[in-house]
Chains A and B, each alone.
Chain A
């Protein structure tokens, strides 16, 4: 079982719609949760982090965490064509022999926002 599972998509939404991206993780001891965006041919960049249950909003982005269900989501409101990218869910968990834990990435969900 993979540490982090994501639906690889592709997810296609029209401009102005809400895009919903989902992620589940296997270890209840996971501590911190992140969403990275990766444009085609580019490197990942952090867009959201969340550490406690509930919602966290930053502009058009909202991250949601439900530790009981081991579920993380990212909502993008008023989606724009420039949001078209792969969104990687990442989870930090403690591992033996590694201080600060280790960051595990999902395979990513490809999002296309069409005009």
Chain B
């Protein structure tokens, strides 16, 4: 079974440029998460989807960040415009809907460097 797929793995951009990350969750997983992980820190939740509905987006900086999950499968996270402080790893994770175990399956992440 394929895992969570993210792209691109690495992205280097100049500040004020836009950037987008794509995620394909594990087949059958209705819950999708975007996390941000800074160096030496744990992942921090940006947004959680149940199917195509964003059910927890209170930590998403909506002035520059946006996300969508059309058709309840793939998801895109966008930053526009990017700032120097956005340099981090953006992790996508998925889990079966209503799973209480807390087991999230993470993708390899997209490492963003903003110059």
B residues with a Cβ closer than 8 A to A are 40-45, 48, 50, 55-56, 58, 91, 98, 100-104, 106-109
Mask, A62-78, CB within 8 Å of B = 1, is: 00000000000000000
A45 interfacial by beta-carbon distance below 8 Å: yes
Main DSSP-derived SS at the B contact region: loop
Q: Which of A42, A88, A102 contacts B56 (CB 8 A)?
A: A102
Cα A32 to Cα B58 with chains together (Å): 21
Q: Are A98 and B48 in contact (CB under 8 A)?
A: yes
A43 interfacial by beta-carbon distance below 8 Å: yes
Can you identify 19 A-B contacts, CB atoms within 8 angstroms? A8-B40, A34-B102, A34-B103, A43-B91, A43-B107, A43-B108, A44-B91, A46-B103, A49-B101, A90-B42, A92-B102, A99-B50, A100-B98, A103-B104, A105-B42, A105-B43, A105-B44, A107-B40, A108-B42
* Set of chain A residues within 8 Å of B43, measured between Cβ atoms: 44, 88, 105
Q: Are A102 and B102 in contact (CB under 8 A)?
A: no
* Set of chain B residues within 8 Å of A100, measured between Cβ atoms: 98, 100
Q: Are A43 and B56 in contact (CB under 8 A)?
A: no
- Number of A residues near B (Cβ < 8 Å) is 24
Cα A92 to Cα B40 with chains together (Å): 21
Cα A86 to Cα B106 with chains together (Å): 15
Looking at the assembled complex, report how far the CB atom of B27 sits from the nearest CB atom of chain A, in whole angstroms: 18
* Set of chain A residues within 8 Å of B42, measured between Cβ atoms: 4, 88, 90, 105-108
Cα A45 to Cα B4 with chains together (Å): 12
Given A42-B108, A92-B102, A98-B55, 20 further pairs, Cβ under 8 A? A4-B42, A8-B40, A32-B100, A43-B91, A43-B108, A43-B109, A45-B106, A88-B43, A90-B42, A97-B58, A98-B48, A98-B56, A98-B58, A99-B50, A100-B98, A105-B44, A106-B42, A108-B40, A108-B41, A108-B42
